[in-house]
Amino acid sequence: MNASLLMPAFSHPATSWHMIDWETSHRRVRRLQARIAKAAREQQWRRVKALQRLLVRSFAAKALAVKRVTENRGRKTPGVDGECWDNPASKWEAIHRLKRHGYKPRPLRRVWIPKANGKRRPLGIPTMHDRAMQALYLLALEPVSETTADRNSYGFRPMRATADAIEQCFVVLGRKSSAQWVLEADIQGCFDNISHDWLLSHVPMDKAVLGKWLKAGFMESGRTHPTHAGTPQGGIISPVLANMALDGLEEVLEAAFGQRNTKASYRTKVNYVRYADDFVVSGISRELLEREVRPIVEAFMAERGLALSAEKTVVTHVEEGFDFLGQNIRKYGGKCLIKPAQQNVKRFLAEVKSVLDTHKTMPAWWIVKTLNPKIRGWANYHRHVVSKATFNYVDYRIWKMLWQWCRRRHLNRRKRWVKNKYFRPLGQRSWTFQGMDPTGKRYALCYASDVPIKRHIKIKAEATRYDPTFAGYFEERLAYLWKNSEKGKSKLLQLWLRQEKRCPCCRELITRETGWNIHHVIEQHKGGTDKLDNLVLLHPNCHRQLHSKSIC
């Protein structure tokens, strides 16, 4: 579909939020980011600095920074100033407030979130202005971080996921001749202890701005507390700073034990896989990992103000198995199998039980509507490994919990009556938990075992979206990932492919990260239908911009 049919091109400077030409803004920022990445690959650091300065001063980058912080999930969560940019006027004003001169960040609002082990993790929430400034400088920093990143680092990086890290573990450990020992490393309080001095000395960005963020402090119970180390969990730029602090360990290990597929590496079989601050290192023996690899890792961490946890950092034989990113990796008779970890399964079932225990009087359709996204999301996370038996077990346990939930509601009814009321035939199953809402729409519980098991194809280790040579590779990979998701069976995939995977308004790729809205070319109140010919996928902001034009 021609973009001109949806939105007129802007031939004059924008004077309001909805007058911004997003296609041109994306193109200008992307071009500068590619130049920054090229300069970083060639190690022309003075040129990197000049291009970064040019980028953060541009109107296009400032507009995209404001767009990002006003469209993500935390857009309605204010900082210590209580300010939210929830209308076009405030967003337009915010663009002109993003200036380096006179900038002083506010303290973060400290909140606590629960961890899986029962403890709590501190989360720092910056103000909207500080978030936008971080998003602006992240546009200039991310091309450098992606260019210099470890090849087998997969956390907090675009187009990479936990499935890539798990698949790399299989590549490293799956053969009969692979390493038999693994160092499971745990960094003690990674985000809270990274050295500020190291970051200021090694992160290639504006030192004055970075220093202000690191020393901004946090506010809790009405009191302001200073920060002397670490990057706040909750800041947009914090994951990239943490990644850059941990990048380089793979190169250090290769210098000591040889690169993969070399004679030196065959003798030691040392390989490294990292996701965020969790990583594993394989080796040919326990002695090699404890006496040679671990001291190198500890020295690397000490330079950055970090330390390994003495209790959680252990060396394990692959036939005993170890848990990594919610999966259990273990060899059975020389064959490497990756399954959902027992603790992960227990936590998921406990979450389902919590929903049922705290909503004993809710109607059945509401229970189905609440549980389905949880079941589907958990199963999709584990669908790339050996999960079929685990899926069947989880389905059985959920059925038992639902049966107890139903029996409790009808203590004086016979079991057959309860079965006929809540469990009805659907497809090849005679027991499917169902419910009907007040409008007459029927909801049926989904089963984890219905999710097909399909091996994940790992991303190329050296691929980065800021390198033009990989542009075609990433578009093909995006198409592959979507074709193998649930969207492939819906209208979304057909619309996405028909539009060449791009938003017709701004001509940028539509991804899970950007989100999308379905737009009716002929509006429904004017007689438009839900047929494919009347539908188009747009970015959320492009959708709102288009409707603002129609109102005007």
SS3 530: coil
Measured distance CA(334)–CA(174) in Å, rounded: 9
* b/e code 407-430 from CB counts within 10 Å (16+ = b): eeeeeeeeeeebeeebbbeeeeee
* pLDDT the model gives residue 518: 80
Name the nearest CA neighbour of 128 among 212, 171, 71: 71
Of 3-17, 224-238, 262-276, 325-339, least confident by mean pLDDT is 3-17
Name the nearest CA neighbour of 270 among 155, 166, 172: 172
Task: Give the model's confidence band at 517: pLDDT under 50 very low, under 70 low, under 90 confident, else very high.
Answer: confident
Contact 270, 283 (CB under 8 A): yes
Task: Give the model's confidence band at 552: pLDDT under 50 very low, under 70 low, under 90 confident, else very high.
Answer: very low
Tell me what the mean pLDDT of segment 285-290 comes to.
Answer: 95
Q: Is the pLDDT of residue 528 over 80?
A: no
* pLDDT the model gives residue 37: 94
Measured distance CA(514)–CA(2) in Å, rounded: 21
Mean pLDDT, the chain, integer = 89
* pLDDT the model gives residue 12: 61
9 DSSP 8-state letter: P
User: What residues form DSSP beta bridges with 433?
Assistant: 423
Amino acid at 158: P
For the entire predicted model, the pTM comes to 0.86
* pLDDT the model gives residue 265: 66
Contact 265, 256 (CB under 8 A): no
More confident residue, 480 or 158: 158
Estimate the share of the chain in helix, then strand, then coil, as percent rounded to the nearest 5.
50, 15, 35
Contact 164, 459 (CB under 8 A): yes
The first and second tokens of residue 170, run together, are: 């299989």
pLDDT in tens, 168-184: 999 999 998 899 999 99
* DSSP annotation string for 433-499: EEEE-TTS-EEE---GGGSPP-PPPPPPTT--TTSGGGHHHHHHHHHHHHHTSGGGGSHHHHHHHHT
* pLDDT the model gives residue 549: 66
CATH class of 150-194+236-336: alpha beta
Pairing of strands 108-114, 218-220: parallel
Pairing of strands 223-225, 218-220: antiparallel
* pLDDT the model gives residue 494: 82
* pLDDT the model gives residue 458: 93
* pLDDT the model gives residue 483: 67
Measured distance CA(246)–CA(243) in Å, rounded: 5
Measured distance CA(271)–CA(250) in Å, rounded: 8
pLDDT over 70 for what percent of the chain? 92
Task: Give the model's confidence band at 230: pLDDT under 50 very low, under 70 low, under 90 confident, else very high.
Answer: confident
Measured distance CA(40)–CA(145) in Å, rounded: 9
Cα-flanking dihedrals φ and ψ of residue 400, to 5°?
-60, -40
* pLDDT the model gives residue 130: 95
Place of tokens 């040679």: 292
The first and second tokens of residue 109, run together, are: 């609002």
Of 9-13, 98-102, 342-346, 539-543, least confident by mean pLDDT is 9-13
pLDDT in tens, 38-54: 999 999 999 999 999 99
* pLDDT the model gives residue 261: 67
Q: 221: burial class by Cβ within 10 Å (0-12, 13-18, 19+)?
A: exposed
* pLDDT the model gives residue 133: 96
Of 84-88, 223-227, 528-532, least confident by mean pLDDT is 528-532
Q: Is the pLDDT of residue 159 over 90?
A: no
Measured distance CA(10)–CA(19) in Å, rounded: 7
Contact 126, 51 (CB under 8 A): no
Measured distance CA(130)–CA(133) in Å, rounded: 5
Q: Is the pLDDT of residue 3 over 60?
A: no
SS3 362: coil
* pLDDT the model gives residue 526: 56
* pLDDT the model gives residue 524: 52
Domain regions of the chain by residue span: 22-148+195-228, 150-194+236-336, 342-450, 468-550
Q: Tell me the CB-side half-sphere exposure of residue 81, using CA atoms within 13 A.
A: 12
